[in-house]
Structure formats: structure tokens, C-alpha cells
Chains A and B, each alone.
Chain A
Amino acid sequence: GNSVTQMEGPVTLSEEAFLTINCTYTATGYPSLFWYVQYPGEGLQLLLKATKADDKGSNKGFEATYRKETTSFHLEKGSVQVSDSAVYFCALIERGGSEKLVFGKGTKLTVNP
């Protein structure tokens, strides 16, 4: 079946550090890929998405590129801020299949001043 694997957290960084959160997927079809973020006390928000190979999603300084050859969708940001502290979820929806999101376990990021 479909699955998403994220790097284990928690991740703690200093402000202005470079961030990478690894995400790889297994899918029988050709999925769309998403990063969702959950800030403390809030619900899930879409951060970015990509729907086909080599697409790059970007938002709020975050980027992720859909790599079909390595089945990956790693999240990156060049300079994190304290306000980026949150839990980040990688997810997929398989094309032509069920419309359900399949999530990774989530990675908690803490950014210290």
C-alpha cells in the first residue's frame, strides 16, 4: 500500500539555520505530494504541494521538489525563524485512487533564538 516516511524528530535548530526534513514515499501509482504544518494550538495548514515529477512547491521560504527517481519530497528552508516552530507532515494522495491523504508521522521542529 501507499506510505510516507519522514525523518524522525524532534529537530532543534538555531534561528537562521538551514532546515531539511526528509520525506520519501511508496505509492503504487503516481501521487500528488504535500507538506502540511501544524503550529502550536492550531489545525493543519497546507504549506506547499507538487502534483507531478520535477515540480517545485514553495511557500513562506520553504521549498520541496517532487523527485520521482528517488521517490522523495524533502522540505527545505534556507534560514529558519522562531515562528517556524511547528510540526511538519509530509503526505500524498494517489492519482486515480482514493482521495484520502496518507501522512507521515510528523516532524516537530523547534527553532531557538
Chain B
Amino acid sequence: EAGVTQFPSHSVIEKGQTVTLRCDPISGHDNLYWYRRVMGKEIKFLLHFVKESKQDESGMPNNRFLAERTGGTYSTLKVQPAELEDSGVYFCASSLSGGYQETQYFGPGTRLLVL
């Protein structure tokens, strides 16, 4: 069974440009999460989808970030326009049924560098 995949693995862009990150969850997983780790800091939650609906987007830092999950399969996270402080590693995770006991399976992450 394929794991969570993310694309691209690395992205280097200039401040003010737009970047779109993609996540493909494990097949059949209704729950999809985005997290981010800024250099030297904790991994922080961004948002949670259940199928195509946003269940919790309390961690989204500002309106420059837009996440979508059309059709309840893959998800995209767009940063527009990118700022220097957006640099970090963006992780996607998925789980089958959600809940406090459920394991979230992580992808390898996308390393974003904004110059």
C-alpha cells in the first residue's frame, strides 16, 4: 500500500512568488492534515480536512495560505504571495477515521525556501 506522498520534495522561490504544494493521502483515508516546521521550532498544525470539508483551520497563519481538497482525495496548499518567514518543511498526514487514538501517517514533507 502506498504511503502519503508529497510534491515537490523541495521548492526554492523568491519573496512575492506563488507556490503550490500537493499531498496525496493514503487511499481511503478521509482525514488529511497539514503541518509545518519552521527552522528550529516545533512542528505546528495548520489545518484538517475530513473528506473535502475543512474541519479545523485554526493553525493557518494568515490569508496568504489557501488549502483545498476538491473531491476529497488529494490536497493542495497554496502560498500567495510567499514571504521569507514561510520557509520551512511542510508535512502532510492522513488517517483513516480520525479521533484521538488514530495514527496519523506522514509524508516525507516539502522543503520550502523563500529567498
Chain A residues near B (Cβ < 8 Å): 4, 31-32, 36, 42-46, 49, 51, 89, 91, 93-106
Tell me if A31 and B106 are in contact (CB < 8 A): no
Chain B positions within 8 Å of A93 at CB level: 100
> Given the complex of chains A and B, what is the CA–CA distance between A104 and B37 in angstroms?
11
Interface residues of B, CB < 8 Å — how many?
28
Q: Does B62 contact A (CB under 8 A)?
A: no
Chain A positions within 8 Å of B58 at CB level: 98, 100
- What are 18 of the A-B contact pairs (CB < 8 Å)? A42-B108, A44-B91, A44-B93, A51-B100, A93-B100, A94-B100, A96-B100, A98-B56, A98-B58, A99-B31, A99-B33, A99-B102, A100-B45, A100-B48, A100-B59, A101-B43, A102-B45, A105-B42
Chain B residues near A (Cβ < 8 Å): 4, 31, 33, 35, 41-45, 48, 55-56, 58-59, 91, 93, 98-109
Tell me if B101 and A32 are in contact (CB < 8 A): yes
Given A32-B101, A43-B4, 16 further pairs, Cβ under 8 A: A32-B100, A43-B106, A97-B100, A99-B31, A99-B56, A99-B100, A99-B102, A100-B45, A100-B56, A100-B58, A100-B59, A101-B35, A101-B45, A102-B45, A103-B35, A103-B44
Q: How far is the CB of B43 from chain A (nearest CB, A)?
A: 4
> Given the complex of chains A and B, what is the CA–CA distance between A105 and B55 in angstroms?
25
Q: A32-B100, A32-B101, A89-B43 are in contact. Are A99 and B106 (CB under 8 A)?
A: no
Chain B positions within 8 Å of A94 at CB level: 100
> Given the complex of chains A and B, what is the CA–CA distance between A87 and B98 in angstroms?
25
B55, B91, B101 — most chain A CB neighbours (10 Å): B101
Q: How far is the CB of A103 from chain B (nearest CB, A)?
A: 4
Tell me if A43 and B109 are in contact (CB < 8 A): yes
Chain A positions within 8 Å of B108 at CB level: 42-43
> Given the complex of chains A and B, what is the CA–CA distance between A31 and B43 in angstroms?
18
Q: How far is the CB of B18 from chain A (nearest CB, A)?
A: 25
> Given the complex of chains A and B, what is the CA–CA distance between A101 and B107 in angstroms?
15
Tell me if A31 and B100 are in contact (CB < 8 A): yes
Q: How far is the CB of A44 from chain B (nearest CB, A)?
A: 4
* Cβ contact of B48, chosen from A51, A96, A98, A104, cutoff 8 A: A98
